[in-house]
Structure 1
Amino acid sequence: MSTESPVGTPSPAAGPAKIRLRHLQQAKAQGRPFAMLTAYDQFAAQAFEAAGVEVLLVGDSVGTTVLGHSSTTATTHQDMLTFTGAVARSVSRPLVVADLAFGTYEAGPTDALRHGVELVRAGAEVVKLEGGAEVAAQVQALVQAGIPVFGHLGFTPQSVNSLSGHRVQGREEAAAQKLVDDALALQRAGAAAIVLELVPAAVARAVTAALDVPTIGIGAGPECDGQVLVWQDMAGLSGFHGRFVKAFADLRTDLQQAAEQYRAEVGARSYPGPEHSFE
Protein backbone atom coordinates (compact mmCIF):
# COMPACT_ATOMS: atom_id res chain seq x y z
CA MET A 1 0.00 0.00 0.00
CA SER A 2 1.40 3.40 -0.97
CA THR A 3 2.40 5.83 1.79
CA GLU A 4 2.15 8.85 -0.47
CA SER A 5 -0.44 11.53 0.29
CA PRO A 6 -1.44 14.69 -1.57
CA VAL A 7 0.05 18.09 -0.91
CA GLY A 8 -1.48 19.79 2.10
CA THR A 9 -2.54 16.63 3.95
CA PRO A 10 -0.78 14.98 6.91
CA SER A 11 1.57 12.08 6.28
CA PRO A 12 0.02 8.69 7.12
CA ALA A 13 1.05 6.93 10.31
CA ALA A 14 2.76 4.16 8.34
CA GLY A 15 5.51 6.52 7.23
CA PRO A 16 6.22 9.88 5.65
CA ALA A 17 4.73 10.62 2.27
CA LYS A 18 7.01 11.70 -0.55
CA ILE A 19 6.09 14.88 -2.39
CA ARG A 20 6.31 14.38 -6.14
CA LEU A 21 5.81 16.71 -9.08
CA ARG A 22 2.38 15.20 -9.63
CA HIS A 23 1.33 16.36 -6.15
CA LEU A 24 2.17 19.96 -7.08
CA GLN A 25 0.21 19.55 -10.31
CA GLN A 26 -2.74 18.16 -8.34
CA ALA A 27 -2.52 21.11 -5.95
CA LYS A 28 -2.81 23.55 -8.85
CA ALA A 29 -5.76 21.67 -10.32
CA GLN A 30 -7.56 21.65 -6.97
CA GLY A 31 -6.70 25.24 -5.99
CA ARG A 32 -4.66 24.23 -2.91
CA PRO A 33 -1.58 26.46 -2.45
CA PHE A 34 1.63 24.75 -1.41
CA ALA A 35 4.67 26.10 0.45
CA MET A 36 8.32 26.20 -0.54
CA LEU A 37 11.17 27.46 1.65
CA THR A 38 14.88 27.71 1.02
CA ALA A 39 17.04 25.34 3.03
CA TYR A 40 20.79 24.93 3.11
CA ASP A 41 21.57 22.73 6.13
CA GLN A 42 20.46 19.66 8.03
CA PHE A 43 18.66 21.27 10.97
CA ALA A 44 16.65 23.85 9.05
CA ALA A 45 15.66 21.24 6.46
CA GLN A 46 14.49 18.81 9.12
CA ALA A 47 12.50 21.53 10.92
CA PHE A 48 10.75 22.50 7.69
CA GLU A 49 10.01 18.87 6.89
CA ALA A 50 8.46 18.43 10.35
CA ALA A 51 6.37 21.56 9.69
CA GLY A 52 4.95 19.96 6.54
CA VAL A 53 6.60 22.29 4.01
CA GLU A 54 6.18 20.56 0.67
CA VAL A 55 9.18 21.85 -1.30
CA LEU A 56 12.69 22.77 -0.17
CA LEU A 57 14.78 25.00 -2.43
CA VAL A 58 18.54 24.81 -2.10
CA GLY A 59 18.88 28.25 -3.59
CA ASP A 60 21.94 29.98 -4.93
CA SER A 61 20.85 32.54 -2.31
CA VAL A 62 23.09 30.46 -0.03
CA GLY A 63 25.83 32.78 -1.28
CA THR A 64 24.19 35.85 0.24
CA THR A 65 22.44 34.28 3.25
CA VAL A 66 25.15 31.90 4.48
CA LEU A 67 28.47 32.61 2.74
CA GLY A 68 28.51 36.40 3.06
CA HIS A 69 28.59 37.34 -0.63
CA SER A 70 26.86 40.48 -1.87
CA SER A 71 25.26 38.73 -4.88
CA THR A 72 24.15 35.26 -5.88
CA THR A 73 26.48 35.52 -8.89
CA ALA A 74 29.32 34.65 -6.49
CA THR A 75 27.74 31.29 -5.59
CA THR A 76 29.67 28.48 -7.24
CA HIS A 77 28.59 25.11 -8.59
CA GLN A 78 30.64 23.46 -5.86
CA ASP A 79 28.73 25.48 -3.27
CA MET A 80 25.49 24.17 -4.73
CA LEU A 81 26.72 20.57 -4.69
CA THR A 82 27.78 20.85 -1.05
CA PHE A 83 24.57 22.39 0.27
CA THR A 84 22.29 20.30 -1.94
CA GLY A 85 23.85 17.18 -0.50
CA ALA A 86 23.42 18.43 3.05
CA VAL A 87 19.69 19.01 2.56
CA ALA A 88 18.98 15.91 0.50
CA ARG A 89 20.61 13.62 3.06
CA SER A 90 18.55 15.15 5.87
CA VAL A 91 14.95 14.81 4.67
CA SER A 92 12.70 12.28 2.97
CA ARG A 93 9.28 13.87 2.37
CA PRO A 94 9.82 17.29 0.73
CA LEU A 95 10.64 17.68 -2.93
CA VAL A 96 14.26 18.92 -3.08
CA VAL A 97 14.96 21.57 -5.73
CA ALA A 98 18.44 22.97 -6.38
CA ASP A 99 19.52 26.03 -8.33
CA LEU A 100 21.93 25.87 -11.23
CA ALA A 101 24.56 28.45 -10.28
CA PHE A 102 25.45 31.45 -12.41
CA GLY A 103 27.72 30.37 -15.27
CA THR A 104 26.66 26.71 -15.29
CA TYR A 105 23.99 26.80 -18.02
CA GLU A 106 24.18 30.05 -19.99
CA ALA A 107 26.60 28.62 -22.57
CA GLY A 108 24.03 26.12 -23.80
CA PRO A 109 22.33 22.75 -23.35
CA THR A 110 25.53 20.72 -23.02
CA ASP A 111 26.79 22.81 -20.13
CA ALA A 112 23.37 22.83 -18.47
CA LEU A 113 23.07 19.06 -18.74
CA ARG A 114 26.51 18.36 -17.29
CA HIS A 115 25.92 20.56 -14.26
CA GLY A 116 22.34 19.36 -13.88
CA VAL A 117 23.49 15.75 -13.74
CA GLU A 118 25.99 16.63 -11.03
CA LEU A 119 23.27 18.33 -8.95
CA VAL A 120 21.05 15.26 -9.27
CA ARG A 121 23.93 13.05 -8.17
CA ALA A 122 24.28 15.31 -5.12
CA GLY A 123 20.63 14.71 -4.24
CA ALA A 124 18.52 17.23 -6.17
CA GLU A 125 15.21 15.95 -7.49
CA VAL A 126 14.59 19.06 -9.58
CA VAL A 127 16.94 21.75 -10.87
CA LYS A 128 16.00 25.39 -11.30
CA LEU A 129 17.38 27.95 -13.71
CA GLU A 130 16.66 31.57 -14.51
CA GLY A 131 15.52 33.01 -17.81
CA GLY A 132 12.77 32.79 -20.41
CA ALA A 133 12.64 31.67 -24.03
CA GLU A 134 16.40 32.14 -24.31
CA VAL A 135 17.00 29.12 -22.05
CA ALA A 136 14.27 26.90 -23.50
CA ALA A 137 16.85 24.70 -25.22
CA GLN A 138 18.61 24.11 -21.89
CA VAL A 139 15.31 23.21 -20.23
CA GLN A 140 14.46 20.81 -23.04
CA ALA A 141 17.85 19.09 -22.87
CA LEU A 142 17.57 18.58 -19.12
CA VAL A 143 14.01 17.27 -19.31
CA GLN A 144 14.85 14.90 -22.16
CA ALA A 145 17.65 13.51 -19.98
CA GLY A 146 15.14 12.80 -17.21
CA ILE A 147 15.93 15.81 -15.01
CA PRO A 148 12.86 17.83 -13.97
CA VAL A 149 13.25 21.60 -14.26
CA PHE A 150 11.69 24.64 -12.59
CA GLY A 151 11.94 27.96 -14.43
CA HIS A 152 12.39 31.39 -12.83
CA LEU A 153 11.00 34.61 -14.33
CA GLY A 154 10.48 38.23 -13.30
CA PHE A 155 13.33 39.52 -11.22
CA THR A 156 16.14 37.03 -11.76
CA PRO A 157 18.85 37.57 -9.13
CA GLN A 158 21.69 36.27 -11.31
CA SER A 159 20.89 39.15 -13.72
CA VAL A 160 20.80 41.81 -11.00
CA ASN A 161 23.41 43.93 -12.79
CA SER A 162 21.65 43.99 -16.16
CA LEU A 163 18.29 44.63 -14.42
CA SER A 164 19.74 47.65 -12.59
CA GLY A 165 19.08 46.27 -9.14
CA HIS A 166 16.22 44.64 -7.30
CA ARG A 167 13.26 46.01 -9.23
CA VAL A 168 9.72 44.80 -9.87
CA GLN A 169 9.45 43.38 -13.40
CA GLY A 170 6.53 43.37 -15.84
CA ARG A 171 4.82 46.64 -14.93
CA GLU A 172 4.62 47.86 -18.54
CA GLU A 173 2.21 46.12 -20.92
CA ALA A 174 4.93 44.86 -23.23
CA ALA A 175 7.01 43.54 -20.34
CA ALA A 176 3.95 41.81 -18.86
CA GLN A 177 3.21 40.13 -22.18
CA LYS A 178 6.83 39.00 -22.42
CA LEU A 179 6.50 37.33 -19.03
CA VAL A 180 3.48 35.39 -20.28
CA ASP A 181 5.27 34.47 -23.51
CA ASP A 182 8.42 33.39 -21.68
CA ALA A 183 6.40 31.30 -19.24
CA LEU A 184 4.64 29.53 -22.10
CA ALA A 185 7.99 28.93 -23.82
CA LEU A 186 9.38 27.33 -20.67
CA GLN A 187 6.26 25.18 -20.31
CA ARG A 188 6.56 24.01 -23.92
CA ALA A 189 10.20 23.12 -23.26
CA GLY A 190 9.10 20.89 -20.40
CA ALA A 191 9.41 23.01 -17.24
CA ALA A 192 7.42 21.47 -14.38
CA ALA A 193 6.81 24.75 -12.53
CA ILE A 194 7.85 28.39 -12.76
CA VAL A 195 8.94 30.76 -9.99
CA LEU A 196 7.71 34.34 -10.41
CA GLU A 197 9.74 36.89 -8.45
CA LEU A 198 8.92 40.59 -7.95
CA VAL A 199 6.05 40.65 -10.40
CA PRO A 200 2.82 42.70 -10.06
CA ALA A 201 0.05 40.56 -8.63
CA ALA A 202 -2.18 41.04 -11.67
CA VAL A 203 0.59 39.91 -14.01
CA ALA A 204 1.35 36.88 -11.86
CA ARG A 205 -2.35 36.03 -11.91
CA ALA A 206 -2.35 36.20 -15.73
CA VAL A 207 0.74 34.00 -16.00
CA THR A 208 -0.73 31.49 -13.57
CA ALA A 209 -3.98 31.34 -15.55
CA ALA A 210 -2.14 30.90 -18.84
CA LEU A 211 -0.09 27.91 -17.64
CA ASP A 212 -0.94 24.28 -17.07
CA VAL A 213 2.05 23.91 -14.73
CA PRO A 214 2.18 25.51 -11.25
CA THR A 215 3.58 28.94 -10.51
CA ILE A 216 5.43 29.73 -7.29
CA GLY A 217 5.44 33.33 -6.16
CA ILE A 218 7.89 35.46 -4.22
CA GLY A 219 6.75 39.06 -4.22
CA ALA A 220 4.16 38.10 -6.85
CA GLY A 221 0.89 38.34 -4.96
CA PRO A 222 -1.46 35.73 -3.49
CA GLU A 223 -2.76 33.99 -6.61
CA CYS A 224 0.25 31.89 -7.57
CA ASP A 225 -0.14 28.17 -7.01
CA GLY A 226 2.58 28.14 -4.35
CA GLN A 227 4.70 30.59 -2.39
CA VAL A 228 8.41 30.65 -1.54
CA LEU A 229 10.53 32.70 0.85
CA VAL A 230 14.16 32.68 1.90
CA TRP A 231 13.93 31.00 5.28
CA GLN A 232 16.12 33.53 7.11
CA ASP A 233 13.71 36.27 5.97
CA MET A 234 10.64 34.21 6.91
CA ALA A 235 12.00 33.55 10.42
CA GLY A 236 13.25 37.08 11.13
CA LEU A 237 16.91 36.10 11.19
CA SER A 238 18.22 38.10 8.24
CA GLY A 239 16.77 41.46 9.25
CA PHE A 240 15.50 41.94 5.68
CA HIS A 241 12.09 43.61 5.65
CA GLY A 242 11.17 43.82 1.97
CA ARG A 243 7.54 44.61 1.16
CA PHE A 244 6.82 41.01 0.13
CA VAL A 245 8.38 39.46 3.28
CA LYS A 246 6.47 38.55 6.42
CA ALA A 247 8.65 37.56 9.38
CA PHE A 248 6.85 34.72 11.16
CA ALA A 249 9.35 34.77 14.05
CA ASP A 250 12.12 36.98 15.47
CA LEU A 251 15.06 34.60 15.53
CA ARG A 252 17.60 37.40 15.25
CA THR A 253 16.52 38.84 18.59
CA ASP A 254 16.13 35.42 20.20
CA LEU A 255 19.60 34.33 19.10
CA GLN A 256 21.21 37.57 20.24
CA GLN A 257 19.52 37.35 23.64
CA ALA A 258 20.62 33.74 24.07
CA ALA A 259 24.21 34.67 23.23
CA GLU A 260 24.12 37.62 25.63
CA GLN A 261 22.86 35.41 28.45
CA TYR A 262 25.51 32.78 27.69
CA ARG A 263 28.28 35.41 27.72
CA ALA A 264 26.98 36.90 30.98
CA GLU A 265 26.83 33.52 32.74
CA VAL A 266 30.30 32.59 31.55
CA GLY A 267 31.61 35.93 32.84
CA ALA A 268 29.89 35.39 36.21
CA ARG A 269 31.11 31.78 36.45
CA SER A 270 27.50 30.66 36.87
CA TYR A 271 27.89 28.54 33.77
CA PRO A 272 28.96 25.83 33.76
CA GLY A 273 27.45 24.92 37.12
CA PRO A 274 27.76 21.71 39.11
CA GLU A 275 25.00 20.13 37.04
CA HIS A 276 27.10 20.68 33.90
CA SER A 277 30.33 19.33 35.39
CA PHE A 278 31.78 15.85 35.93
CA GLU A 279 33.16 14.35 39.16
Structure 2
Amino acid sequence: MSTTFQLDTATSRANPTPQPMKRLTVPAIKRRKFEGKTEQPLVMLTAYTARQAQLLDTHCDLLLVGDSLGQVIYGLPSSLQVTLDMMCAHGAAVVRGSYHSVVVVDMPFGAYEASPQQAFAAASRIMSETGCAAVKLEGGVAMAETIAFLVARGIPVMAHVGLTPQAVNVLGGYNARGRSQQEHEKIIADGQAVEAAGAFAVVIEGVIEPIAIALTQSLEIPTIGIGASAQCDGQVLVTEDMLGMFDRVPRFVKRYEEIAQVIGKAAEAYAEEVRARTFPGIEQTYQPK
Protein backbone atom coordinates (compact mmCIF):
# COMPACT_ATOMS: atom_id res chain seq x y z
CA MET A 1 0.00 0.00 0.00
CA SER A 2 1.45 3.33 -1.03
CA THR A 3 -0.40 5.72 1.26
CA THR A 4 1.24 6.68 4.52
CA PHE A 5 -1.38 4.95 6.69
CA GLN A 6 -4.34 2.57 6.36
CA LEU A 7 -7.82 4.07 6.13
CA ASP A 8 -11.24 2.60 6.76
CA THR A 9 -12.83 3.11 3.36
CA ALA A 10 -16.22 1.86 4.51
CA THR A 11 -16.96 4.75 6.85
CA SER A 12 -16.12 7.95 5.01
CA ARG A 13 -16.68 9.21 1.48
CA ALA A 14 -13.39 11.12 1.71
CA ASN A 15 -11.17 8.11 2.26
CA PRO A 16 -9.29 6.74 -0.76
CA THR A 17 -10.18 3.28 -1.98
CA PRO A 18 -7.10 1.03 -2.20
CA GLN A 19 -6.22 0.00 -5.72
CA PRO A 20 -4.07 -2.98 -6.77
CA MET A 21 -1.32 -0.94 -8.37
CA LYS A 22 2.20 0.14 -7.57
CA ARG A 23 3.05 3.83 -7.41
CA LEU A 24 5.33 5.15 -10.13
CA THR A 25 8.72 6.50 -9.09
CA VAL A 26 10.84 9.48 -10.10
CA PRO A 27 13.46 7.22 -11.79
CA ALA A 28 10.66 5.52 -13.75
CA ILE A 29 9.43 8.91 -14.97
CA LYS A 30 12.94 9.90 -16.00
CA ARG A 31 13.44 6.60 -17.86
CA ARG A 32 10.38 7.25 -20.00
CA LYS A 33 12.67 9.37 -22.15
CA PHE A 34 15.27 7.12 -23.75
CA GLU A 35 17.87 8.25 -26.24
CA GLY A 36 16.10 11.59 -26.57
CA LYS A 37 12.65 10.17 -27.25
CA THR A 38 9.54 9.45 -25.20
CA GLU A 39 7.38 6.80 -26.84
CA GLN A 40 4.47 7.30 -24.44
CA PRO A 41 4.02 10.96 -23.42
CA LEU A 42 3.75 11.71 -19.73
CA VAL A 43 0.33 12.79 -18.43
CA MET A 44 0.25 15.31 -15.60
CA LEU A 45 -2.62 17.27 -14.03
CA THR A 46 -2.93 19.43 -10.95
CA ALA A 47 -4.64 18.13 -7.82
CA TYR A 48 -5.32 19.88 -4.53
CA THR A 49 -7.60 17.52 -2.57
CA ALA A 50 -7.78 13.82 -1.73
CA ARG A 51 -10.97 13.28 -3.73
CA GLN A 52 -9.60 15.07 -6.77
CA ALA A 53 -6.49 12.90 -6.55
CA GLN A 54 -8.65 9.77 -6.43
CA LEU A 55 -10.46 10.74 -9.62
CA LEU A 56 -7.32 11.66 -11.56
CA ASP A 57 -4.82 9.13 -10.23
CA THR A 58 -5.31 6.15 -12.54
CA HIS A 59 -5.24 8.37 -15.63
CA CYS A 60 -2.05 10.27 -14.80
CA ASP A 61 1.64 9.56 -14.44
CA LEU A 62 2.18 12.61 -12.23
CA LEU A 63 -0.05 14.76 -10.04
CA LEU A 64 1.13 18.31 -9.41
CA VAL A 65 0.08 20.06 -6.23
CA GLY A 66 0.56 23.41 -7.88
CA ASP A 67 0.82 26.80 -6.23
CA SER A 68 -2.00 27.65 -8.63
CA LEU A 69 -4.15 26.53 -5.70
CA GLY A 70 -3.79 30.12 -4.54
CA GLN A 71 -6.10 31.28 -7.31
CA VAL A 72 -8.09 28.07 -7.81
CA ILE A 73 -8.86 27.18 -4.19
CA TYR A 74 -8.32 30.37 -2.18
CA GLY A 75 -9.32 33.07 -4.68
CA LEU A 76 -6.01 34.89 -4.33
CA PRO A 77 -4.89 37.31 -7.05
CA SER A 78 -1.74 35.29 -7.84
CA SER A 79 0.43 32.47 -6.58
CA LEU A 80 2.68 34.89 -4.70
CA GLN A 81 0.49 34.79 -1.57
CA VAL A 82 0.66 31.00 -1.25
CA THR A 83 2.36 29.73 1.91
CA LEU A 84 4.38 26.68 2.81
CA ASP A 85 1.60 25.65 5.21
CA MET A 86 -0.89 25.62 2.32
CA MET A 87 1.38 23.51 0.14
CA CYS A 88 2.02 20.99 2.90
CA ALA A 89 -1.66 20.62 3.78
CA HIS A 90 -2.82 20.11 0.21
CA GLY A 91 0.18 17.98 -0.71
CA ALA A 92 -0.57 15.57 2.13
CA ALA A 93 -4.21 15.33 1.01
CA VAL A 94 -3.21 14.48 -2.56
CA VAL A 95 -0.73 11.82 -1.43
CA ARG A 96 -3.42 10.24 0.76
CA GLY A 97 -5.83 10.20 -2.16
CA SER A 98 -3.48 8.62 -4.72
CA TYR A 99 -1.86 5.24 -5.24
CA HIS A 100 -0.34 5.36 -8.70
CA SER A 101 0.95 8.78 -9.72
CA VAL A 102 4.18 10.47 -8.74
CA VAL A 103 3.09 13.40 -6.58
CA VAL A 104 5.08 16.61 -7.07
CA VAL A 105 4.54 19.61 -4.79
CA ASP A 106 5.33 23.18 -5.80
CA MET A 107 7.66 25.17 -3.60
CA PRO A 108 5.93 28.49 -2.90
CA PHE A 109 7.37 31.92 -3.61
CA GLY A 110 9.90 32.99 -1.00
CA ALA A 111 10.56 29.47 0.28
CA TYR A 112 13.66 28.68 -1.77
CA GLU A 113 15.14 31.69 -3.56
CA ALA A 114 17.37 33.07 -0.79
CA SER A 115 19.83 30.20 -0.60
CA PRO A 116 20.21 26.46 -1.18
CA GLN A 117 20.04 26.01 2.57
CA GLN A 118 16.70 27.81 2.78
CA ALA A 119 15.43 25.69 -0.10
CA PHE A 120 16.50 22.49 1.64
CA ALA A 121 14.73 23.45 4.84
CA ALA A 122 11.49 24.12 2.93
CA ALA A 123 11.78 21.10 0.61
CA SER A 124 12.59 18.69 3.43
CA ARG A 125 9.54 19.92 5.33
CA ILE A 126 7.34 19.40 2.27
CA MET A 127 8.71 15.91 1.70
CA SER A 128 8.36 14.82 5.32
CA GLU A 129 4.92 16.32 5.97
CA THR A 130 3.28 15.26 2.70
CA GLY A 131 4.97 12.03 1.68
CA CYS A 132 5.34 13.37 -1.86
CA ALA A 133 7.98 12.08 -4.27
CA ALA A 134 9.44 15.39 -5.48
CA VAL A 135 9.26 19.16 -5.34
CA LYS A 136 9.05 21.68 -8.17
CA LEU A 137 10.68 25.08 -8.27
CA GLU A 138 10.81 27.86 -10.83
CA GLY A 139 13.95 29.20 -12.48
CA GLY A 140 16.79 28.06 -14.68
CA VAL A 141 20.40 29.17 -14.49
CA ALA A 142 19.71 31.18 -11.33
CA MET A 143 18.36 28.10 -9.53
CA ALA A 144 20.87 25.52 -10.82
CA GLU A 145 23.01 25.63 -7.69
CA THR A 146 19.92 25.16 -5.51
CA ILE A 147 18.69 22.23 -7.60
CA ALA A 148 22.08 20.53 -7.35
CA PHE A 149 22.13 21.13 -3.58
CA LEU A 150 18.70 19.53 -3.12
CA VAL A 151 19.33 16.56 -5.41
CA ALA A 152 22.65 15.81 -3.68
CA ARG A 153 20.69 15.60 -0.42
CA GLY A 154 18.05 13.20 -1.64
CA ILE A 155 15.30 15.53 -2.82
CA PRO A 156 14.14 14.97 -6.42
CA VAL A 157 13.48 18.24 -8.23
CA MET A 158 11.29 19.10 -11.19
CA ALA A 159 12.36 22.40 -12.71
CA HIS A 160 10.20 25.05 -14.42
CA VAL A 161 11.39 27.42 -17.16
CA GLY A 162 9.92 29.84 -19.68
CA LEU A 163 6.93 31.69 -18.27
CA THR A 164 7.47 31.45 -14.51
CA PRO A 165 4.34 32.76 -12.73
CA GLN A 166 6.14 33.54 -9.48
CA ALA A 167 8.21 36.08 -11.42
CA VAL A 168 5.14 37.77 -12.93
CA ASN A 169 6.10 41.19 -11.57
CA VAL A 170 9.52 41.04 -13.20
CA LEU A 171 8.15 39.61 -16.45
CA GLY A 172 5.38 42.22 -16.60
CA GLY A 173 2.54 39.76 -17.11
CA TYR A 174 1.68 36.28 -18.30
CA ASN A 175 2.58 36.77 -21.96
CA ALA A 176 4.32 34.05 -23.95
CA ARG A 177 8.09 34.05 -23.67
CA GLY A 178 10.74 33.64 -26.34
CA ARG A 179 9.72 36.20 -28.92
CA SER A 180 13.12 37.87 -28.82
CA GLN A 181 16.44 36.23 -29.58
CA GLN A 182 17.64 37.08 -26.08
CA GLU A 183 14.65 35.34 -24.49
CA HIS A 184 15.07 32.39 -26.86
CA GLU A 185 18.67 31.91 -25.79
CA LYS A 186 17.80 32.32 -22.10
CA ILE A 187 15.11 29.63 -22.19
CA ILE A 188 17.46 27.16 -23.88
CA ALA A 189 20.25 27.98 -21.42
CA ASP A 190 17.85 27.63 -18.47
CA GLY A 191 16.72 24.20 -19.61
CA GLN A 192 20.25 22.98 -20.10
CA ALA A 193 21.29 24.37 -16.71
CA VAL A 194 18.57 22.58 -14.74
CA GLU A 195 19.35 19.30 -16.49
CA ALA A 196 23.03 19.64 -15.66
CA ALA A 197 22.08 20.42 -12.05
CA GLY A 198 20.20 17.14 -11.71
CA ALA A 199 16.51 17.94 -12.27
CA PHE A 200 14.65 14.79 -13.31
CA ALA A 201 12.21 16.72 -15.53
CA VAL A 202 11.40 20.28 -16.51
CA VAL A 203 8.13 22.11 -17.10
CA ILE A 204 8.22 24.41 -20.13
CA GLU A 205 5.46 26.98 -19.79
CA GLY A 206 4.17 29.63 -22.17
CA VAL A 207 6.94 29.68 -24.76
CA ILE A 208 6.95 29.96 -28.54
CA GLU A 209 6.51 26.43 -29.92
CA PRO A 210 9.79 26.16 -31.88
CA ILE A 211 11.70 26.89 -28.66
CA ALA A 212 9.81 24.19 -26.77
CA ILE A 213 10.58 21.70 -29.53
CA ALA A 214 14.25 22.68 -29.68
CA LEU A 215 14.64 22.42 -25.91
CA THR A 216 12.86 19.07 -25.79
CA GLN A 217 15.15 17.71 -28.48
CA SER A 218 18.27 19.00 -26.74
CA LEU A 219 17.56 17.55 -23.29
CA GLU A 220 17.89 13.99 -22.03
CA ILE A 221 15.35 14.58 -19.25
CA PRO A 222 11.60 14.72 -19.98
CA THR A 223 9.99 18.05 -20.73
CA ILE A 224 6.42 18.73 -19.59
CA GLY A 225 4.66 21.30 -21.72
CA ILE A 226 1.98 23.79 -20.77
CA GLY A 227 1.36 26.32 -23.48
CA ALA A 228 4.38 24.92 -25.30
CA SER A 229 4.12 22.07 -27.83
CA ALA A 230 2.63 18.62 -28.34
CA GLN A 231 6.21 17.57 -29.13
CA CYS A 232 7.16 17.92 -25.47
CA ASP A 233 7.63 14.64 -23.60
CA GLY A 234 4.45 15.25 -21.61
CA GLN A 235 1.73 17.76 -20.83
CA VAL A 236 0.26 19.39 -17.75
CA LEU A 237 -2.84 21.53 -17.24
CA VAL A 238 -4.61 23.01 -14.26
CA THR A 239 -7.45 20.54 -13.84
CA GLU A 240 -10.07 23.19 -13.10
CA ASP A 241 -9.14 24.99 -16.31
CA MET A 242 -9.58 21.95 -18.53
CA LEU A 243 -12.84 21.09 -16.76
CA GLY A 244 -14.32 24.52 -17.49
CA MET A 245 -14.62 25.63 -13.87
CA PHE A 246 -13.75 29.24 -14.69
CA ASP A 247 -15.11 31.68 -17.25
CA ARG A 248 -11.67 32.77 -18.44
CA VAL A 249 -8.76 30.45 -19.10
CA PRO A 250 -5.45 30.83 -20.96
CA ARG A 251 -5.58 30.30 -24.73
CA PHE A 252 -3.44 27.16 -24.44
CA VAL A 253 -6.13 25.38 -22.39
CA LYS A 254 -8.54 22.98 -24.05
CA ARG A 255 -11.81 22.74 -22.14
CA TYR A 256 -12.72 19.05 -22.01
CA GLU A 257 -15.91 19.62 -20.02
CA GLU A 258 -18.11 22.43 -18.69
CA ILE A 259 -18.32 21.38 -15.06
CA ALA A 260 -19.20 24.88 -13.84
CA GLN A 261 -22.44 24.69 -15.83
CA VAL A 262 -23.21 21.23 -14.43
CA ILE A 263 -22.70 22.48 -10.87
CA GLY A 264 -24.78 25.58 -11.50
CA LYS A 265 -27.69 23.56 -12.90
CA ALA A 266 -27.56 21.11 -10.00
CA ALA A 267 -27.53 23.95 -7.45
CA GLU A 268 -30.46 25.60 -9.25
CA ALA A 269 -32.51 22.38 -9.16
CA TYR A 270 -31.71 21.88 -5.47
CA ALA A 271 -32.70 25.44 -4.60
CA GLU A 272 -36.01 25.07 -6.44
CA GLU A 273 -36.88 21.85 -4.59
CA VAL A 274 -35.95 23.29 -1.20
CA ARG A 275 -38.11 26.36 -1.77
CA ALA A 276 -40.97 24.17 -3.00
CA ARG A 277 -40.56 21.87 0.03
CA THR A 278 -40.21 18.85 -2.27
CA PHE A 279 -36.76 18.08 -0.86
CA PRO A 280 -36.15 16.14 1.27
CA GLY A 281 -38.61 13.51 0.17
CA ILE A 282 -39.58 10.17 1.65
CA GLU A 283 -36.36 8.63 0.28
CA GLN A 284 -34.17 11.14 2.12
CA THR A 285 -35.87 11.14 5.53
CA TYR A 286 -36.08 8.65 8.41
CA GLN A 287 -39.57 7.31 9.09
CA PRO A 288 -40.86 5.51 12.18
CA LYS A 289 -40.81 1.73 11.91
TM range (shorter): over 0.9
Which of 68, 71, 74 is matched with 1:64 structurally? Answer: 71
Aligned residue in 1 for 2:14? none
Larger relative contact order, structure 1 or 2 (CA cutoff 8 Å, min sep 6): 2
Please say if 1:112 is aligned against 2:154: no
Determine if contact 2:25/2:133 at 8 Å carries over to the other structure. Answer: no
Query: After the TM superposition, which of the residue ranges 29-38 and 135-144 deviates more from structure 2?
Result: 29-38
Cα deviation 1:247-279 (Å, max 9, x = unaligned): 111100000000000000001111100111111
Residue identity opposite 1:218 in structure 2: I
Q: Distance in 1 between matches of 2:68 and 2:118?
A: 21
Q: Which runs of 5+ in 1 are unaligned?
A: 1-13
Q: Distance in 2 between matches of 1:263 and 1:271?
A: 9
Aligned residue in 1 for 2:194? 186
What TM-score, normalized by structure 2, do the two folds share? 0.89
Q: Distance in 2 between matches of 1:187 and 1:181?
A: 10
Please state how far the C-alpha of 1:25 moved relative to its aligned partner.
2.7
| 1:224 partner SS | coil
Please state how far the C-alpha of 1:171 moved relative to its aligned partner.
1.5
Which of 255, 259, 274 is matched with 1:266 structurally? Answer: 274
Please state how far the C-alpha of 1:15 moved relative to its aligned partner.
2.2
Which of 181, 205, 210 is matched with 1:202 structurally? Answer: 210
Please state how far the C-alpha of 1:123 moved relative to its aligned partner.
1.8
Q: Distance in 1 between matches of 2:151 and 2:27?
A: 15
Aligned residue in 1 for 2:4? none
Aligned residue in 1 for 2:28? 23
Aligned residue in 2 for 1:255? 263
Residue identity opposite 1:105 in structure 2: Y
Matches within 5 A, 1:85-164: 85-121=92-128, 122-164=130-172
Moved segments of 4+, more than 3 Å:
none
Cα deviation 1:198-255 (Å, max 9, x = unaligned): 0111100000011000000000021110000000001111223321000111100000
Q: Which runs of 5+ in 2 are unaligned?
A: 1-18
What TM-score, normalized by structure 1, do the two folds share? 0.93
Please state how far the C-alpha of 1:109 moved relative to its aligned partner.
0.3
Aligned residue in 1 for 2:49? 41
Please state how far the C-alpha of 1:172 moved relative to its aligned partner.
1.4
Please state how far the C-alpha of 1:62 moved relative to its aligned partner.
0.6
Residue identity opposite 1:103 in structure 2: G
Q: Percent identity?
A: 39
Which of 269, 272, 284 is matched with 1:276 structurally? Answer: 284
Cα deviation 1:120-156 (Å, max 9, x = unaligned): 0122211000011111111011101101000000110
Determine if contact 1:139/1:186 at 8 Å carries over to the other structure. Answer: yes
Residue identity opposite 1:223 in structure 2: Q
Q: Distance in 1 between matches of 2:84 and 2:22?
A: 30
Figure out how many residues of one structure are paired with residues of the other and give that number: 265
Q: Distance in 2 between matches of 1:214 and 1:235?
A: 25
Aligned residue in 2 for 1:236? 244
Determine if contact 1:233/1:239 at 8 Å carries over to the other structure. Answer: no
